[in-house]
Amino acid sequence: MLRVRRAGPACTLTLVLGAVTLFFVGCLSFSEHGFWKKEEAEKPIEPVAVDRLIRVRLMGRRPRPSEELSVTAPYALTDTQSGAQFGEKQPPVSLATVRPAGEAGIEIGEKLIPSGDITLTPSRDAAIVLGDRTYRGTLRIQREADGLVFTNHLDIEAYLKGVLRGELPRYFHIESFKAQCVAARTYALYSKRNKPAGKTFDVYDDEGSQVYKGVAMEDATAVEAVDATHGEVCVYDDGEKEDIFCTYYSSCCGGLSQHVNNVKPNDPPAPPLAGRVACEDCYVAPRYRWEPVKISKAEVTKKLVARYPSIRKIGTVTGLRPRKRTEDGRIISMEIVGSGGQKEVLIGEDFRLSMGGRLVKSTNFAIETTKDAFIFKDGKGFGHGMGLCQYGMETKARRGMDYRRILATYYPGSTVKRIYE
């Protein structure tokens, strides 16, 4: 999800942040002592124009054969590519089945639309009900393979109100919600900017990006946190420019965060993601230490092949050998030994996700091998351990730390900056 591309409208934020930074760091003058020195900026900063539209792919990775749709207000129906509108305002629809129709069309209830890429724009907000979830903004429906894919387009501030409660327990402190909100906003804008060419959405609605369940998740705490941090993102100054970075976060680091390139070798190694942030505050997490998990060798093989079909050639997995660990024990790379003695190597986090991210809760574990199974034991932490630790954040918030200091702690060298009003 994070291939770097800096072209077209997606680079707006970079350019704008770059311009703002140049304004600050570019104000140098030659002093009477012969040294270049910084002068205070005198002119007000120009308002920043950021493309705030976020496009969220709904309902998983695969096209759906059909889905149930209601639109509870009149809506405009347009061809997404050409912008041409089909007829006058469409009347509201209730529990219509939407599905592919004919060679290239889409059917909504009885209505056949001669386009495979349409956008519904209701005249009132929060009027789209897809499956059992209500969404703000507009809905794009595209034919893909034999089914349909659904993408919700909405302003990032509205999106965040539907994200926070999917990412944090209700009882978390308001400063935690604010810190999470700034991280989530930065993450979404970074994903939007760095998405691969041709991709028609910025984020998924699940753990692959950020959990987003629409209007139903907008409670008072979420709304308060979004409004209190309106337009704020995490930035760092690399010496030449100020920029956002991929603000990864996970549930519980287990004691020490890890370097982004341990998990994502192709990501830019932004200093705030260099890891090694000691965190003694996530001990309150339910999965700070986790119980042993036993998985049969046959099942381990099946899970790995499902995700990496080429592993099939090594036969049944008979051995798992961590090749490289972090100083606190996280497995960076895992050697997988097959029944014929052949070997494959996977990134530790990829191995874990193959087993199931909720089953094997982190890459910090010991391995016991029995005749027909592996036991993952002495487990520490929950999640990938990059960047912000959510349970550590919560303990810090309850001790009185505000969200800006929390973010500066988990993303060292970064600051919080408002980039639009």
Residues that bind Zn ion (CB under 5 A): 253, 279, 282, 389, 392
Q: Are 46 and 420 in contact (CB under 8 A)?
A: no
| Lateral strand order in the sheet of 232-237 | 242-244, 232-237, 414-418
Nearer to Zn ion, 203 or 407 (CB): 407
Relative to beta strand 232-237, strand 242-244 is: antiparallel
Nearest distance from residue 211's CB to Zn ion, in Å?
20
State how far the Cα of 156 lies from the Cα of 110, in Å rounded to an integer. Answer: 33
Structure token digits, residue 195: 């998405």
Nearer to Zn ion, 136 or 396 (CB): 396
State the CB neighbour count (10 A cutoff) for residue 148. 20
Phi, psi of 302 (to 5 degrees): -60, -45
Nearest distance from residue 69's CB to Zn ion, in Å?
41
Nearest distance from residue 288's CB to Zn ion, in Å?
8
Nearest distance from residue 252's CB to Zn ion, in Å?
6
Nearer to Zn ion, 229 or 258 (CB): 258
Nearer to Zn ion, 160 or 279 (CB): 279
CA-closest candidate to residue 25, choices 12, 7, 41, 10: 41
Nearer to Zn ion, 322 or 392 (CB): 392
Q: Are 267 and 353 in contact (CB under 8 A)?
A: no
The residues near 246 (Cβ < 8 Å, ≥ 6 apart) are 2, 187, 190, 191, 194, 260, 267, 270, 273
State the CB neighbour count (10 A cutoff) for residue 347. 17
Nearer to Zn ion, 181 or 388 (CB): 388
Characterise 260 by phi-psi region: left (phi > 0), alpha (psi -120 to 50), beta (else).
alpha
* CA-atom Rg of the chain in angstroms: 24
Structure token digits, residue 329: 């024990």
Nearer to Zn ion, 75 or 410 (CB): 410
